[in-house]
Chains A and B, each alone.
Chain A
Amino acid sequence: MLSRVADSFYWMRRYLERAEHSARVINVHLSLSLDDPTDTVGRTLLSAVGERPAGVPIPEIPARAEATGRVDPAHRAVVVGCVAAARENARQIREQISAEMWEQLNRLYLVSRESQPDGPAFMRAVIEGTHLFQGVAEATLSQGEGWHYMQLGRYMERATTTASMLAEYFAERGNPSADAPKTGQYVEWVGLLRACAAFEAYTRAHTADVRPERLVEFLLLNADCPRSVRFAADRIEDSLRAIARVLGREATGRPERFAGRLRAALNFGTIDEIIADDLVRYVESIREQCDQIHAALNQTYISYALEAAIAR
């Protein structure tokens, strides 16, 4: 597969994932600010989305809250920008993806450019559109090399964003303590879970009794919740191995090493140790490891040094 094509598969899916995260966080922020116009959690989370390495620059989310129940145009622009960037990447590889995928993404793009619906309904439409795209892709695309670059884009973005949200939140609030929570805190924690689309999954595992250490454990180390960092890290390593297999490489290069290390840390770490040590430092290191994997992926498959490739 052409390196440019692989890159487009990756970024197409990564931007869609980012669109989904942004839309969801914006909706959580809207909902929280209706209860509390000064909503700081929403702002904190907003600043965690969408500032990782980018192929196409998009505007950052400004931390402005208006308790009007309306979507800030700047926030909306971020979501629209992500969808447009995803479509632009898809356009580059139109003959490689299925016609159905193109049509679904194109439809989402056209919807995102219309002024209606406004507000939360718009964000829900985007979230739904990205889910539809994923379903269409699973139903119509051969799960070869291109598929795995899509998986990487999707889970790299998810792992990075979840880690970033945890980092931002606990950097502001301090390490979780064992004291009984105040009412306001409970609302914040639910907001955090909702922002990660993990509230329902959490209650099924732990009931609605939200405790910060359980929340962190769930979002970081849970093996089954598709929104946890561990789940993402498992998929990242799987896809890297699959790509190596397709290309007839041994899966011992830098991308597999970094991904394997991250996976091991999340598979075998315990929440007590993580909290006892320094939670913020820990989630920040996860973010850094994701960046490392991204860079290694790039250097191995996309923009590798020519001299090395020629000598090979």
Chain B
Amino acid sequence: MAPVSGSGPVALSALFTSYHLDTSFDEMFDAAGRPRPPYQALLSRLLDLPAEDLRRRQREADAAFLQQGITFTVYGDKGGTERVFPYDLLPRILTHDEWQRISRGLSQRLLALNLFLRDVYGDGRILKEGIVPRELVVTAQHYRREMRGLYQRPDVRISVAGTDLVRLPDGSFAVLEDNLRVPSGVSYMLTNRQITKRVFPQLFVDYEIEPIDHYAQALLATLRSLAPAQPQPTIVVLTPGVYNSAYFEHAFLARQMGVELVEGRDLLVHDNIVYMRTTGGLRRVDVIYRRVDDDFLDPLAFRTDSALGVAGLFNAYRAGSVAMANAIGTGVADDKAVYAYVPAIIKFYLGEDPILPNVETYLLGNDTDRAYALEHLGELVVKAVGESGGYGMLIGPHSTAAEREEFRRRILANPRNYIAQPTLALSRAPSFLDEGIEPRHVDLRPYVLCSGDSCTVVPGGLTRVALRRGSLVVNSSQGGGSKDTWVLAE
């Protein structure tokens, strides 16, 4: 294979005629256009195949997703439409060493964030010492003052996390945001692998890939560990119901773990004990893996208009008779402004430097940061701190003057609510599009399970890909897709 120069197309075969390298990190080719070692075997396979063969496999995969009803709901569309999450045929490959660093970095981060949550709702040492401004914490949208002074045993605040990583032009990984409330997407990590095995089994022959199928078992063990007193705790998955965008995932996880999938109306609280209503009578519930936001959990404690929650649940939780994953109030730690302090948080609790760095972040509540950001709106990405899923974002280089003006107005009206970050050149991975293979921007969301003082990261994750050419937004709600993610064995 002849190396191909700098920014020209990687003209290896007809499939690659539109494959242009740019300044962002390419997962498959180095800057000189030579395939990186982990991708060599994949590339030789691809060069042997006609495009029609890939198209056939892609169609098979799409049909499998549709038939199995692996769909999500898009809000804002009329009436909430069910859609298949686009799947990209080509896997994203991570080496053993890359993964080691990611895994250690995430464990460190989650350990520190768990300590942070225990602290800010408890003694508040980190606030007293001024490492994180108290005002920033207590004004965070997802701060729950009801949790003050409340300790659980075992006191794990974040059991399940899905942290978004990006790969920078120098090839290193950085944390883009922490999802510590009800992170979703793990079902796609698992089904993507199943589908790839089904439609492209040949690829697996060339590689030794770390398995991920034990995720459900690991999740079950994590949830069990929240009720150490019960030998056989009753665990349920609490879903908002069939109209929720992630309902497929809730049902999927319940089935994989072999536990009940319940809605708020299936549960009730009596004398601070949570029961579910079964045909055989009331059955006590010990652990709730809830996929309902804090606000909607209990109409007596939080939003009174919530029809999804369970009246009295918070009191039962406070009394310690039921455990919840994740705990209430974890959103304060994935607030996009608090995010800027995570390196300091790691240093404070663990005395270590962060293994995975943050992305440079301007807090628009700070006068100097705000002045700079308003000057440079055209180059920055502005995000609302309490939002997720790619909603409420301004991508400077792709924005119109009117959009920038609109954001300027919003920022000035509520500066605390916004942060800005440089527009990142996310790394790009080869994606199969109908015409051929082209690079597309990707991120990586590994799933971290925490119990007590240890964290498990299942070797893999969800690689989301911005399928629209040039797009930097990978969220499923904004036209993104996903691909299978391989971690190579040592």
- Give A contacts to B, CB under 8 Å: 1-4, 6, 91-92, 94-95, 99, 102-103, 145, 243, 247-249, 301-302, 304, 306, 309-310, 312
Q: Knowing A94-B251, A95-B254, A95-B255 touch, does A310 contact B279 (C-beta < 8 A)?
A: no
Which of the 9-residue segments B3-11, B23-31, B39-47, B256-264 touches chain A?
A: B256-264
In the complex formed, the residue of B with least CB distance to A102 is: B69
B214 within 8 A of partner (CB) = no
- The size class of the interface chain B forms with chain A is 20 to 34
B455 within 8 A of partner (CB) = no
Are B68 and A99 in contact (CB-based, < 8 A)?
Answer: yes
Cα separation A115 to B241 with both chains bound (whole Å): 30
Listed by A's residue number, 25 A-B pairs whose Cβ atoms lie within 8 Å are A1-B279, A1-B280, A2-B276, A2-B279, A3-B266, A3-B277, A3-B278, A3-B279, A4-B265, A4-B277, A94-B69, A95-B251, A95-B252, A95-B254, A95-B255, A102-B69, A248-B280, A302-B279, A304-B281, A306-B268, A306-B282, A309-B281, A309-B282, A310-B270, A310-B282
Contacts of B280 in A (CB 8 A): 1, 247-249
Contacts of B266 in A (CB 8 A): 2-4
Per-position contact with A for B275-297: 1 when CB-CB < 8 Å, else 0?
Answer: 01111111000000000000000
B350 within 8 A of partner (CB) = no
Q: A4 to nearest B CB, angstroms?
A: 5
Contacts of B263 in A (CB 8 A): 4
Cα separation A92 to B266 with both chains bound (whole Å): 13
Contacts of B242 in A (CB 8 A): 91-92
> Of residues B69, B254, B261, B277, which shows the largest number of chain A Cβ atoms within 10 Å of its Cβ?
B277
Interface of A is mostly: helix
B67 within 8 A of partner (CB) = yes
Q: Knowing A92-B242, A95-B255, A102-B69 touch, does A312 contact B281 (C-beta < 8 A)?
A: yes
In the complex formed, the residue of A with least CB distance to B280 is: A247
Are B277 and A2 in contact (CB-based, < 8 A)?
Answer: yes
Cα separation A2 to B281 with both chains bound (whole Å): 9
Q: Knowing A2-B260, A306-B268 touch, does A145 contact B279 (C-beta < 8 A)?
A: yes
Q: Knowing A2-B260, A310-B270 touch, does A103 contact B279 (C-beta < 8 A)?
A: no
Per-position contact with A for B244-256: 1 when CB-CB < 8 Å, else 0?
Answer: 0000000110110
Q: A56 to nearest B CB, angstroms?
A: 14
Cα separation A4 to B277 with both chains bound (whole Å): 8
Q: B166 to nearest A CB, angstroms?
A: 34
Q: Known pairs A2-B279, A3-B266, A3-B279. 16 more at Cβ < 8 A?
A: A1-B279, A2-B260, A2-B266, A2-B277, A4-B263, A95-B251, A95-B252, A247-B280, A248-B280, A301-B279, A302-B279, A306-B268, A306-B282, A309-B277, A309-B282, A312-B281
In the complex formed, the residue of B with least CB distance to A6 is: B279
Are B278 and A1 in contact (CB-based, < 8 A)?
Answer: yes
In the complex formed, the residue of B with least CB distance to A308 is: B281
Cα separation A145 to B280 with both chains bound (whole Å): 11
Cα separation A1 to B261 with both chains bound (whole Å): 10
Cα separation A312 to B278 with both chains bound (whole Å): 13
Q: Knowing A2-B260, A99-B68 touch, does A306 contact B270 (C-beta < 8 A)?
A: yes
